[in-house]
């Protein structure tokens, strides 16, 4: 059966037998870059369309339904519009930083893709500190946001950027701690090992209460980290018009917009990998017929299914909850989520040492 693993191996072998090692490596780099950019564009289109349809469904509307069948080309049309729009730079803005900021946000999002496993043995770079790499790189994007807010020379942007800085830095702590919970349980930082450790059951089932608490905290924290409602204080449409990207237009705005959706995708992939077994199919004990049927579904579909389920949950949040206030947001993190995740980590560690998990 052709799987992503076989295709990747075939290309790898063919390149290395046809060209010498350096050229083959360069070609592989190019292929990966093209794939990543392609994935980003497709993701942008799919997720924005999905968001519009999900919100329309929740808001008793129809959503886009004119361009193409069921409106699926609406986002393409919007992207074209953004491309031909003039990318304005305000007069008194810091032009260098203003134009650099969207690329930093975008590059940070691209880098996180490297250690993620999209299917069985289908991974760009199976680095042995994969989880650490992900947490480290995800903190870089806040620099881009702060830069955008500061360089715009706009008070709304500045307020948005400062909110965003406080928010992302705070929520990274509990996101990190809930990731460490799984690292403790699976005894590895390497993404492929973490997934292998879930072969006999996903961590959310195997890890008892600590894993479930960690999962809930992870979802809350990443919603805040990606600046999504109810934690969208950096944008806060009704308060700060558009927050840190008020002054951006055209493709520069589109990059921020795209980065937001790609970040949602990435955090959901991480959540699916750590808690829901990544590309591992759903298995129930010794029920072999059921397990074999589940195995028949391709591993990439498993990962994307889990990811899109999590994305749907995050979209669901956005269209039902009101927004928190900045002090409530920070209280929630420092007074509730952080202590809970610390105690939870202790519990998980004790559990891992005593071997109480399955």
Partner 1 sequence: MYKETDILKESSVEGNLIINIGPQHPSTHGVLHLVVTLNGETIKKVEPHLGYIHRSIEKMCESLSYRQFIYVTSKMDYLSSHINNHGCAMCVEKGLQIEVPPRAQVIRVLMDELTRLSSHQLWWGAMAMDIGALTPFFHAFREREMITSIFEETCGTRLTMNYMVPGGVMADVNTNFQKSVKDFIIHFKNKINEYDELLTGNIIFQNRTKGVGFISKENAISFGCSGPTARGSGVSCDIRKLYPYEVYNQLDFDEILEPGGDCFARYLVRMKEMKQSISIIEQLIDNIPDGDFQAKTKAVLKLPKGEFYSSVESARGEFGVYIVSEGGTTPYRIKFRSPGFSNLSALDFMSREGKIGDLIAIMGSLDLVIPDIDR
Report the interface residues with partner 1, using CB under 8 A.
55, 58-61, 155-156, 159, 163, 229-230, 232-233, 236-241, 319-328
Report in angstroms how near the CB of residue 123 gets to partner 1 at its nearest.
38
Locate 197 and state its tokens.
Answer: 């450790």
- Judged by beta carbon, residue 12 or residue 155, the one nearer partner 1 is 155
Which residues sit opposite 122 in a β-bridge? 119
- Judged by beta carbon, residue 287 or residue 320, the one nearer partner 1 is 320
Report in angstroms how near the CB of residue 265 gets to partner 1 at its nearest.
22
- Judged by beta carbon, residue 240 or residue 262, the one nearer partner 1 is 240
Which residues sit opposite 117 in a β-bridge? 123
Report in angstroms how near the CB of residue 169 gets to partner 1 at its nearest.
16
Report in angstroms how near the CB of residue 25 gets to partner 1 at its nearest.
48
- Judged by beta carbon, residue 158 or residue 182, the one nearer partner 1 is 158
Locate 20 and state its tokens.
Answer: 């010498």
Distance CA 287, CA 269 (A): 28
Residue 245 is given by DSSP the state G
Other beta carbons within 10 angstroms of residue 34's beta carbon come to 10
146 in Cβ contact with 240 (< 8 Å): no
Non-local (6+) Cβ contacts of 8 within 8 A are 121, 122
Report in angstroms how near the CB of residue 79 gets to partner 1 at its nearest.
23
- Judged by beta carbon, residue 5 or residue 239, the one nearer partner 1 is 239
Number of helices (H), then strands (E), in the chain:
16, 2
- Judged by beta carbon, residue 120 or residue 323, the one nearer partner 1 is 323
Non-local (6+) Cβ contacts of 351 within 8 A are 185, 207, 208, 210, 357
Closest CA to 119 of 311, 306, 298, 268: 298
Report in angstroms how near the CB of residue 230 gets to partner 1 at its nearest.
6
């Amino acid at each position: 059966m052709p799987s992503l693993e076989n295709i990747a191996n075939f290309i790898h072998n063919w390149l290395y037998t046809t060209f010498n090692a350096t050229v083959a490596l360069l070609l592989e780099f190019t292929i990966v870059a093209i794939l990543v950019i392609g994935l980003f564009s497709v993701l942008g289109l799919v997720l924005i369309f999905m968001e519009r349809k999900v919100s329309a469904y929740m808001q008793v509307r129809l959503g886009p339904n004119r361009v193409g069948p069921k409106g699926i080309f609406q986002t393409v049309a919007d992207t074209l519009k953004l491309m031909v729009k003039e990318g304005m730079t305000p007069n008194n803005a810091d032009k260098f930083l203003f134009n650099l900021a969207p690329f930093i946000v975008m590059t940070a999002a691209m880098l996180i893709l490297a250690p993620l496993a999209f299917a069985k043995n289908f991974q760009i770079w199976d680095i042995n500190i994969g989880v650490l790499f992900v947490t480290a790189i995800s903190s870089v994007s806040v620099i881009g946001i702060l830069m955008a807010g500061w360089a715009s020379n706009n008070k709304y942007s500045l307020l948005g950027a400062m909110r965003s800085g406080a928010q992302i830095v705070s929520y990274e702590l509990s996101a990190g701690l809930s990731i460490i919970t799984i690292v403790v349980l699976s005894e590895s930082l390497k993404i492929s090992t973490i997934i292998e450790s879930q072969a006999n059951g996903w961590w959310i089932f195997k890890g008892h209460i600590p894993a479930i608490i960690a999962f809930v905290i992870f979802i809350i924290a990443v919603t805040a980290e990606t600046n999504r409602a109810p934690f969208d204080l950096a944008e806060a449409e009704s308060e700060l018009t558009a927050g840190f990207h008020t002054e951006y237009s055209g493709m520069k705005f589109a990059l921020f917009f795209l980065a937001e959706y790609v970040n949602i995708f990435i955090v959901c992939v991480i959540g699916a990998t750590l808690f829901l077994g990544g590309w591992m199919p759903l298995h129930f004990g010794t029920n072999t017929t059921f397990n074999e049927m589940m195995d028949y579904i391709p591993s990439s579909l498993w990962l994307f299914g889990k990811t899109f389920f999590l994305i749907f949950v995050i979209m669901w949040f956005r269209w039902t909850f009101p927004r928190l206030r900045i002090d409530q947001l920070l209280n929630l993190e420092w007074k509730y989520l952080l202590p809970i995740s610390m105690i939870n980590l202790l519990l998980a560690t004790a559990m891992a040492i005593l071997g109480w998990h399955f």
